[in-house]
Structure 1
């Protein structure tokens, strides 16, 4: 009995060729009516970084990814109930949150924001993951 739907499965050998990793992961998981979206960054699904050095542009691409993954799971941005946003410099808070706020206008999710020392690749300035619940 399958209880989860895994969306956009991948292996880290392909996504992190500069690292010696071999992990099977996916971009999102649908479990019942709950969608868990993996942390999204300023890289599109073809592996192209958008907004090198620009946290606002990276946030815009990350949110495009979130929206697409939610739609692939049968959900939408209005279903998001929780966000966690990571930034690598406190000065990035305004450009990142201004961009993210545009996408969640009128949604009112709960939100956690963290300033961290770094992400998996040094050019990544922000990351956001979300949880959504599809209404019954």
Structure 2
């Protein structure tokens, strides 16, 4: 696990894994690893003078979709009532070959922060289907000058999914969602400081970036792109994370 303190005291914890917990590629092992990961997260937050209510953004990295229900179930219980924004990735492997789950988080002291568009996982579809696990999320966290968004995909903000099999159309909808959510948090894309784009196939890079590049370039937002094994649902072909910082008016 690596920890970094960013501007305004923002804490970034990356690569949180279960450590010495017994491995094994079963649902039971995945659940045990998830418990250990959240134990380590709580300890790291405490050592930095933070609490769970300071959590803003979590990124879940899981090596097999079959483990998702168990891991997210643990997360939902351990973070009940926190309502972070989230991104969920299915990845080929992690640096520890025994690990099936890794967590990255951003936290800002002084929570619970302003959390917009709160929702519960069981009431909101991810792609074409609702999720069985119970977890509290939101779409926007405003923590001082920092704005964190839930990873945006081809889902509308009303949770419709109109662009099946069309990565470019999903990307156009995703960046439109980003602009709307930033506006709700008092920002625009001009306040964007970083973006991360995920696609599930190399063939999707061109149509996705054709849709995203004009906005990212117009506002000079530095960005990275990764090819991942999967996203929250198989029909979701791309996702974009955007992080914004409001200007210092003091």
TM-score bucket of the superposed structures, by smaller chain: over 0.9
Match for residue 92 of structure 1 among 193, 204, 209: 204
The Cα shift of 1:7 comes to 1.1
Report the TM-score, using the length of structure 2 for normalisation: 0.52
Query: Do residues 26 (structure 1) and 135 (structure 2) align?
Result: no
Aligned to 1:116: 228
Question: Aligned pair count?
Answer: 136
Taking the aligned partners of 2:136 and 2:168, their CA distance within structure 1 comes to: 30
Moved more, 2-11 or 87-96: 2-11
Taking the aligned partners of 1:3 and 1:46, their CA distance within structure 2 comes to: 25
Match for residue 5 of structure 1 among 107, 114, 127: 114
Report the TM-score, using the length of structure 1 for normalisation: 0.93
Q: How does 1:1-136 map to 2 (within 5 A)?
A: 4-16=113-125, 18-136=130-248
Taking the aligned partners of 2:131 and 2:180, their CA distance within structure 1 comes to: 27
Moved more, 11-20 or 52-61: 11-20
Moved more, 8-17 or 38-47: 8-17
Compared CA separation, residues 121 and 3, structure 1 to 2 (3 A): closer
The Cα shift of 1:2 comes to 5.6
Gaps of 5+ in 2: 1-109
TM superposition outliers: structure 1 runs of 4+ over 6 Å: none
Q: Does the Cα contact within 8 Å between 1:33 and 1:135 map onto a contact in 2?
A: yes
Q: Find the structure with the greater CA-based Rg.
A: 2
Taking the aligned partners of 1:4 and 1:26, their CA distance within structure 2 comes to: 12
State the secondary structure of the residue aligned to 1:21: coil
Higher helix share: 2
Gaps of 5+ in 1: none
State the secondary structure of the residue aligned to 2:140: strand
Q: Does the Cα contact within 8 Å between 1:50 and 1:61 map onto a contact in 2?
A: no
Higher strand share: 1
Q: Which has the higher contact order (CA 8 A, sep 6+)?
A: 1
Taking the aligned partners of 2:204 and 2:111, their CA distance within structure 1 comes to: 41
Q: Does the Cα contact within 8 Å between 1:3 and 1:32 map onto a contact in 2?
A: no
